[in-house]
Structure 1
Amino acid sequence: MRLHFITGNKGKLEEAKAILSNYGFEVKMIDLKKVEIQSDNLEDVAVHAIKLIDNKYAPVFVEDAGLFVEKLKGFPGPYSSYVYKTIGCDGILKLLEGEKGRSAYFMAVVALKLPSGEVKVFKGVTRGVIARVKRGSRGFGFDPIFVP
Structure 2
Amino acid sequence: MKVFFITTNINKYKEAKQVLEEYNIKLMLLKYPLMEIQSKSLVESIIWKGAQGFKILDEYYIVEDAGLFIKPLKGFPGVYSSYIYKTIGINGILKLMDNISNREAYFEAVGFLSLKNNIFKLFVERVHGIISNEIRGDRGFGFDPIFIPRGSNKTYAEMDLSEKNRFSHRGKLFRKIGEYIKNNILHGKSI
TM-score greater than 0.5 by the shorter chain: yes
Are 1:21 and 2:21 matched, yes or no?
Answer: yes
Q: Structure 1 regions of 5+ residues with no counterpart?
A: none
Contact 2:54 2:118 in 1 (8 A): no
Aligned counterparts of 1:40 and 1:99: Cα–Cα separation in 2: 25
Counterpart CA distance in 2 for 1:13 and 1:33 is 14
- Percent identity between the two aligned chains: 45
Encode CA deviations 1:28-76: one digit per residue, 9 max, x unaligned: 1111121111101001111111111136342011000000001111010
SS at match of 2:13: helix
**Could you list the runs of 5+ residues in structure 2 that have no partner in the other structure?**
150-191
1:63 aligns to what?
64
Which stretch has the larger CA shift, 16-25 or 49-58?
Answer: 49-58
Q: Which aligned pairs between 1:91-102 and structure 2 lie closer than 5 A?
A: 91-102=92-103
* DSSP 3-state at the match of 1:108: strand
1:134 match: 135
Partner of 2:9: 9
Query: How far did residue 111 of structure 1 move?
Result: 0.6
Match of 2:53 in 1: 53
Give the corresponding residue for 1:32.
32
TM-score by length of 2: 0.75
* Cα distance in structure 1, aligned partners of 2:26 and 2:88: 35
Q: How many residues align?
A: 148
2:187 aligns with: none
Partner of 1:114: 115
Contact 1:7 1:29 survives alignment (8 Å): yes
SS of match in other structure, 1:64? strand
Are the structure 2 counterparts of residues 141 and 32 from structure 1 closer, same or farther at C-alpha, using a change threshold of 3 Å?
same
TM-score, structure 1 as length reference: 0.96
1:6-42 deviation per Cα after TM superposition (whole angstroms, max 9, x unaligned): 1000000000111001101111111112111110100
Distance 2:88 2:13 in 1: 24
Counterpart residue number, 1:74: 75
1:122 Cα shift? 0.2
Q: Distance in 2 between matches of 1:58 and 1:106?
A: 29
1:4, 1:57 within 8 Å by CA — same for their partners in 2?
no
